[in-house]
Amino acid sequence: MLRGLTWSPNAHLNRSFAIFMNSQPQMQELDFLLVGQEKEVLEQDARVLQQAGHKNIRIVQSGIEARHVLKNSRVHFVITDLQMPCMNGIELLRLIRRTPGLSDIPVLIISDNRQKEMILYAIDEMVDGYLATPYRAEDLQQAITNIHKRKKLTTLQNELRLARHFILAKNYDKAIDKAKTVFVHDQNNSEALFLLSEGYYWQRELDKAKQFLHMYLKGNPASGKGMHLLSKVCRLDGACGDAFGVLLKAHKENPLNLDLAIDLGKFYLEMEMEDKAREIFAEVMSAGPTDLNLIKIGKAFLKKGRPEDAAAYLDKTIQPLPETAFIFAQLGQQQGDAGNLEAGVRQFRKCLELVPDQPEYQVKLAELYLKQGDVSQAKELLELCLKSHPGHDQARKLLKPIARGAA
């Protein structure tokens, strides 16, 4: 058996910024959350951790399940497989890094993908370790140990941690102040440069954002997130040609980053270069997209008023997040407006599967039922809506003539 390939960056690991998590004292404490599709492998890793003295271990088999656990438990360490259909390991990592109260959780990605580009992609998204399969029990233990060794932060690393937290809290002045503290001591510190760029971007100080992004990219020329942010800065500054050029370069240098590919495809769509957009989206489809990838593409077509094209992607989703229900509602509305009532009904039913008892979706679905002439279904749905939301005016308005006709 080959020895596992491990990698761990000098990264932030202090979990003291957990205000949201600490506000819920009844939450379950988990030493480790293991995420992946191969249950036998997860159980084997759990036994290794148990033998090392860890007791509170939870196994889930999808990123969606992991998201639920993270929301309802205090998790101290996440070990996740890279390849998962609905939400992959990179997307789960990104969710953790961008959620207040979770952003400091150490994350170790496990994968049989040894491509340099994939490892760099994970590094770019601030993974704490990358362990290539196959690996031995001692390789797993060593990877975890290496990550824990970096848990004690220096003063400057702690300033960066606080800057990240202020970015998540949308307190950009304080984020910039913290990042500047580090920049004064180390003008080549990549994370400080990126945080300054991000803070100034959100403050719409675009010249400063560009200045620090160019410094950041000088030291990190292949950074997908750096080029992605530069593209957004250029676009906001009205330099759409520059924005497109940066995004095109980013896609070429980060071929495994499907988010970059999708954004490039969206850019092509906006420029009315549909053939090019479809080429990019075909690349994404051949790479095995997640639900989030499919939803982004579908959303781009909805923005263009193209419900049939949007449905071709959105209907391929497996287990979309409840927060994405509004995208399916937009699709259902556009399909209904185009006269495709049955397709619209299917989308609003899906919305109610994702967000049960949501009154706006119940009313929209009832309206489509009425257009189909299915009065009984509409009546049942409107009565159900008013039972949970008695003050909903539109539901009451639609139900009144139905009730009057039945009488």
* Mean pLDDT of each 10-residue bin along the chain, 407 residues long: 39 35 64 95 95 94 94 96 93 96 96 92 95 95 91 86 96 98 96 98 98 96 95 96 95 93 96 96 96 97 96 96 96 97 97 96 97 95 94 93 72
Neighbours of 290 (CB within 10 A): 22
CA distance 389 to 362: 11
| CATH number of the domain to which 127 belongs | 3.40.50.2300
DSSP letter for each residue of 103-154? TT--EEEEES---HHHHHHHHHTT-SEEEESS--HHHHHHHHHHHHHTTS--
pLDDT for 150 equals: 76
pLDDT for 163 equals: 97
Contacts of 163 (CB under 8 A, 6+ apart): 174, 175, 176, 178, 179, 182, 192, 195, 199
Nearest to 284 by CA among 320, 312, 306: 312
Flag whether 377 is in a domain: no
Cβ–Cβ under 8 Å, residues 217 and 227: yes
Domain count, the chain: 1
Flag whether 129 is in a domain: yes
Cβ–Cβ under 8 Å, residues 231 and 250: yes
Nearest to 223 by CA among 258, 178, 190: 190
CA distance 220 to 123: 11
pLDDT for 90 equals: 96
- Locate 165 and state its tokens: 């937290």
Flag whether 144 is in a domain: yes
CA distance 185 to 275: 49
Q: pTM score, two decimals?
A: 0.86
Flag whether 128 is in a domain: yes
Flag whether 390 is in a domain: no
DSSP letter for each residue of 226-265? HHHHHHHHHHHTT-HHHHHHHHHHHHHH-TT-HHHHHHHH
Locate tokens 């009154």: which residue?
A: 359
Flag whether 251 is in a domain: no
CA distance 264 to 300: 11
Peptide bond into 255 cis (omega under 30): no
- Locate 92 and state its tokens: 């789960």
Flag whether 175 is in a domain: no
pLDDT for 7 equals: 43
Flag whether 110 is in a domain: yes
- Locate 38 and state its tokens: 């191969």
pLDDT for 18 equals: 37
Instruction: Return the ∠ at Cα 137 (arms to 133 and 140), rounded to 5°.
Output: 65
What are the phi and psi torsion angles at 259 (to 5°)? -65, -40
Cβ–Cβ under 8 Å, residues 144 and 77: yes
Neighbours of 11 (CB within 10 A): 20
pLDDT for 85 equals: 86
CA distance 8 to 263: 29
Angle between helix 155-168 and helix 190-202 axes, rounded to 10 deg: 30
Domain span at residue 67 reads: 6-152
- Specify the 3-state DSSP secondary structure of 303: helix
Neighbours of 170 (CB within 10 A): 9
pLDDT for 26 equals: 66
